[in-house]
């Protein structure tokens, strides 16, 4: 199976292209707050703009519930897109609107929020048919929704044949990077996993255990693992219903000879928002009234040492409550250690990506994945529906 890219598209001269983007940007009072995703879409947009007749960009935005909702209109994004692209962009106030068929050659359109129709999330066949109808080609450059079976990424793709559908540059780059983690990753492969809850990441964690030589665990996830080893973690965030899963992961790692590290010292506090007490404690010495909020200094050093000689690194999940300055040191230490290795390094996940920017080292990472859920699902080797729909 191969995944067609832009260069595989044929007969572009008169093409009318439906381009699925991820323009799900934060908007406040009708003003776009962060243009990162708009800028990320520009290379594919420009490449198409030089070669095709009509581009109709489309996206979802926010939590629209299958009906038009002005709070989630993409109209403010059209203005930003126009500025960033440096050419007119026409906003189409209905993603199934007639303008898609009548737009003159040389037009760039932005269609209204796909999720104003219930058929988008339901991957409804009739909605996909109507969405695809006026177009000769389809390009998907929205990696963040690649793990969802929605009409604009799955149903639509099925309606275009060879030479008429492809992934854009963003998705191509994501897939290339994540493939390097799955098929014969260069060893030693070190994974760093953390974040709030193990329950949201069980499958990717289990998949990583099978592939890595070293697993460094931090964040809330480590608390439940410590508890599974009989360590008392005070008032720390834990998920008691995940204790069996934790034991299974620990056993599997031991059976495979994976070097699984848990924190040996931690930062504990009485209150995350208004800390009165902040202390470093060994994990066998956590007071009942305090909670773990970061890696301790010895653990930071041990994890950094493990990262120093890695050939491949994947990081998902902050090592502590890094949003609070006092509890960010563990996450920042890991970010710096990861940036300093010569190996191939990938960071994925919403807060993890924020953390790597927070630490100021995002440009020293080989690949920063834009799709949190999608990248984790890719790693579990469950194929992504949107990618499968394009493969030939």
User: Is 37 tagged catalytic?
Assistant: yes
Q: How far is the CB of 385 from ligand ADP (least distance, A)?
A: 20
User: Is 144 tagged catalytic?
Assistant: no
Stretch 366-385 residues interacting with ligand ADP (CB under 6 A):
372
Closest CB to Mg ion among residues 109, 208: 208
**For binding to Mg ion (CB under 5 A), which residues are involved?**
350-351
Q: For the residues of 38-106, what is the DSSP string, one character each?
A: HHHHHHHHHHHHTT-SEEEEE---TT--SS--GGG-SHHHHHHHHHHHTS--EEESSTT-THHHHPPTT
Residue 109 is inside which H or E element, if any?
strand 107-111
- Of 107-115, 217-225, 361-369, 381-389, the segment contacting ligand ADP by CB under 6 A is 217-225
- Given the residues 16, 37, 211, 300, select the one marked as catalytic: 37
* Tokens of residue 176, six digits: 């290339």
Question: Is 286:268 a contact under the CB 8 Å cutoff?
Answer: yes
Residue 65 CA to its chain's centroid (Å): 22
Closest CB to ligand ADP among residues 185, 372: 372
User: Is 65 tagged catalytic?
Assistant: no
Distance in angstroms (rounded) separating the CA atoms of residues 63 and 315: 28
Q: How far is the CB of 372 from ligand ADP (least distance, A)?
A: 5
> How many of the other CB atoms lie within 10 Å of CB of 138?
24
Distance in angstroms (rounded) separating the CA atoms of residues 156 and 130: 9
Distance in angstroms (rounded) separating the CA atoms of residues 60 and 84: 19
- Given the residues 197, 235, 302, 336, select the one marked as catalytic: 197
Q: How far is the CB of 228 from ligand ADP (least distance, A)?
A: 15
> How many of the other CB atoms lie within 10 Å of CB of 50?
8
Stretch 251-290 residues interacting with ligand ADP (CB under 6 A):
none
**How big is the chain by its Cα radius of gyration, in Å?**
23
Stretch 302-341 residues interacting with ligand ADP (CB under 6 A):
316-318, 320-321, 323
Q: How far is the CB of 20 from ligand ADP (least distance, A)?
A: 23
Stretch 159-198 residues interacting with ligand ADP (CB under 6 A):
194-196
Total length of the chain? 392
59 binds, among ligand ADP, Mg ion, none (CB under 5 to 8 A by kind): none
Q: Which of 57, 46, 76, 52 minimizes the C-alpha distance to 18?
A: 57
User: Is 373 tagged catalytic?
Assistant: yes
Q: How far is the CB of 220 from Mg ion (least distance, A)?
A: 11
Is residue 292 a contact residue for ligand ADP (CB under 6 A)? Answer: yes
Closest CB to ligand ADP among residues 152, 352: 352
- Binding residues (CB under 6 A) for ligand ADP: these are 194-196, 200, 219-220, 223, 237, 292-293, 316-318, 320-321, 323, 349-352, 372
| Catalytic residue list | 37, 197, 350, 373
């Amino acid at each position: 199976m191969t995944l067609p890219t832009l260069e595989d598209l044929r007969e572009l001269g008169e093409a009318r292209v439906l381009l699925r983007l991820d323009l799900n940007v934060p908007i406040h009072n009708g003003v776009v707050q962060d243009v990162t995703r708009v800028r990320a879409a520009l290379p594919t947009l420009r490449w198409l703009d030089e070669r095709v007749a009509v581009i109709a960009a489309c996206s979802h935005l926010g939590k629209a519930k299958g009906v038009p909702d002005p709070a989630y209109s993409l109209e403010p994004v059209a203005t930003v897109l126009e500025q960033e692209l440096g050419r007119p962009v026409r906003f189409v106030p209905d993603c199934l609107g007639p303008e898609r068929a009548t737009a003159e050659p040389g037009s760039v359109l932005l269609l209204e929020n796909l999720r104003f129709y219930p058929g988008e999330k339901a991957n409804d066949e009739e909605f996909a048919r109507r969405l695809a109808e006026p177009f000769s080609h389809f390009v998907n450059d929205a990696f963040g929704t690649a793990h969802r079976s929605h009409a604009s990424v799955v149903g639509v793709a099925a309606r275009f044949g060879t030479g008429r559908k492809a992934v854009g540059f963003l998705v191509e780059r994501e897939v290339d990077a994540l493939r390097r983690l799955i098929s014969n990753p260069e060893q030693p492969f070190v994974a760093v996993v953390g974040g709030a809850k193990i329950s949201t990441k069980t499958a990717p964690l289990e998949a990583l255990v099978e592939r890595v030589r070293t697993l460094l665990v931090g964040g809330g996830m480590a608390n439940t693992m410590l508890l599974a080893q009989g360590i008392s973690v005070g008032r720390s965030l834990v998920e008691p219903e995940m204790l069996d899963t934790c034991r299974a992961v620990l056993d599997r790692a031991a059976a495979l000879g994976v070097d699984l590290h848990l924190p040996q010292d931690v930062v504990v506090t009485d209150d995350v928002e208004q800390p009165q007490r902040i202390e470093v404690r060994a994990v066998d010495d956590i007071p009942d009234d305090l909670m773990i909020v970061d890696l301790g200094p010895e653990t930071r050093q041990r994890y950094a040492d493990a990262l120093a000689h890695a050939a491949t690194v994947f990081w998902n999940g902050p090592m502590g409550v890094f949003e609070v300055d006092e509890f960010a040191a563990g996450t920042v230490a890991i970010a710096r250690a990861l940036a300093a290795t010569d190996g191939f390094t990938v960071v994925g996940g919403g807060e993890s990506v924020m953390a790597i920017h927070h630490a100021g080292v995002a440009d020293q990472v080989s690949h920063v994945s834009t799709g949190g859920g999608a990248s984790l699902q890719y790693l579990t080797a469950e194929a992504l529906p949107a990618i499968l729909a394009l493969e030939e």
